[in-house]
A and B are shown apart, each in its own frame.
Chain A
Amino acid sequence: MSATVSPASTSTPSERAWALFKVMKDKDLIPEGYIEQLTELMVHQWSPENGARVVAKAWVDPQFRELLLRDGTAACAQFGFTGPQGEYIVALEDLPQLKNVIVCSLCSCTNWPVLGLPPEWYKGFEFRARLVREGRTVLREMGTELPSDVVVKVWDTSAESRYLVLPLRPEGSEHMSEEELQKLVTKDVLIGVALPRVR
């Protein structure tokens, strides 16, 4: 058969994925409910709203903030936010003259339970290639202009540490509740490409 088939390019990504699924299914390698359960975690449970809860609590609770910066895994575990790709968590503290940003130049490593699965652009060649070398320019192009006295510090996720950015609490948020503060902390704020803003 293989002598007569046309080149591989005739099939689509979808057809290839389902072909692998079919081969595994026919061999009874796929446990009942496994794909459904993992998909539920990936789509609904692992979410940047988890990270937003962690950050908002750190903003209002100095003791928790201290724990988050000393032992990010223990701090996130208090919420139940650990799991695959979130087993050794390190929080990166922004300072008035320091902006942290996360990337994985080699693939796509992300703190899944706290930030959610990485978005397309984070896994794209442009971000992976450029952020480590021209971080300030990349942030500007994406919509975040930083003052020249702020140092950009890029964290390349190249081993097992999984990061989240702890941003500065924005001006104008002094009277906001913890629940209101959570809404300021977006996925991009947790990755570090955006700053939290009070509208």
Chain B
Amino acid sequence: MDGFHDLGGFQGFGKVPHVINSQDYKQVFKQEWEHLAYSLMFIGADQLKKFSVDEIRHAVERLDVRQHVGTQYYERYVIATATLLVETGVITQEELDQALGSTFKLANPPHDKGRPAITGRPPFEVGDRIVVRDEYVAGHVRMPAYVRGKEGIVRHRTSEKWPFPDAIGHGDLSAAHQPTYHVEFQVKDLWGDAADDGLVVVDLFESYLDKAVDAKTVAA
């Protein structure tokens, strides 16, 4: 989903509001309600088993853009949890509105039903040059747009496998399990000279990748 949440490379933001080693983090929750965000989220995911953490991420992505920009971090997870509990029929919009005394604005409905993983291919190996598939996904996806279509080098293949986010992020419990790959990109390959030089490593599911066609081989 090409939403506002996909912020990598987005220009126009000011300085990060932090000076190294300030101790602000020691007060973990700054407001009396913030501990509820992850607590209620995990009750829905781990205790009630009504949704996955992937679906939570997708529900946050589905917040209306203006709402997304105007909300605090933990607030977005409260809204996402409320949205999923309503969508799975555990609670109702009316119950939320009544408890709040005004309209409890939930996230927008999904744009898509998700998609299955690509299976049956040989795994990639460390050192392989890969290309991120040039595809557009309306539903949940864990490929930041800044690597779409870009070439990089595999530095690590995980020893474990996880459900494909584009499927389980839409509630598909049969989602195929896949390894992910730490793929290293040159910053200059992502944004040309309008960036600092350096490297970016993105942790990408197998289904997002193809082997790169070596340009020299094509020429020959």
Are the CB atoms of B104 and A160 closer together than 8 Å? Answer: no
Tell me, yes or no, whether B5 is within 8 Å of chain A by CB: yes
Q: Give the top 9 A-B pairs by smallest Cβ distance, nearest first.
A: A105-B8, A121-B18, A17-B33, A19-B100, A159-B203, A119-B25, A19-B99, A194-B20, A152-B198
Say how far A27's CB is from chain B's closest CB, in angstroms: 7
- Which residue of A42, A116, A135 is within 8 Å of B25 (Cβ)? A116
Tell me the residues in window 117-169 of chain B with beta carbons closer than 8 Å to chain A beta carbons.
142-144, 146, 156, 158, 160, 162, 165
B99 to chain A: which residues have CB within 8 Å?
Answer: 19-20, 22-23, 26
B217 to chain A: which residues have CB within 8 Å?
Answer: none
Tell me, yes or no, whether B173 is within 8 Å of chain A by CB: no
Tell me, yes or no, whether B212 is within 8 Å of chain A by CB: no
Are the CB atoms of A6 and B33 closer together than 8 Å? Answer: no
Tell me the residues in window 22-49 of chain A with beta carbons closer than 8 Å to chain B beta carbons.
22-24, 26-27, 29-31, 34-35, 38-39, 42-43, 48
A194, B144: Cα distance in complex, Å: 25
Interface range for B? 35 or more
Say how far B42's CB is from chain A's closest CB, in angstroms: 6
A→B interface (CB under 8 Å): 1-2, 5-8, 10-11, 13-24, 26-27, 29-31, 34-35, 38-39, 42-43, 48, 84, 88, 90, 105-108, 116-117, 119-121, 123-130, 132-138, 141-144, 151-161, 186-188, 193-194
Among B29, B36, B96, residue most surrounded by chain A Cβ atoms (within 10 Å): B36
Say how far A158's CB is from chain B's closest CB, in angstroms: 5
- Which residue of A152, A161, A186 is within 8 Å of B199 (Cβ)? A152
Are the CB atoms of A154 and B201 closer together than 8 Å? Answer: yes
Which chain A residue has the least Cβ–Cβ distance from B30? A120
Supposing A107-B60, A129-B7 touch, asked if A18 and B36 sit within 8 A by C-beta, the answer is: yes
A59, B90: Cα distance in complex, Å: 50
Which chain B residue has the least Cβ–Cβ distance from A46? B28
A126, B69: Cα distance in complex, Å: 12
- Which residue of B57, B104, B156, B203 is within 8 Å of A16 (Cβ)? B104
Supposing A120-B24, A121-B18 touch, asked if A31 and B43 sit within 8 A by C-beta, the answer is: yes
B107 to chain A: which residues have CB within 8 Å?
Answer: none
Q: A20-B81, A129-B8 are in contact. List 14 more A-B contacts (CB 8 A).
A: A8-B104, A13-B31, A16-B75, A16-B100, A17-B36, A29-B90, A84-B42, A88-B158, A105-B7, A107-B60, A119-B25, A151-B198, A155-B200, A188-B21
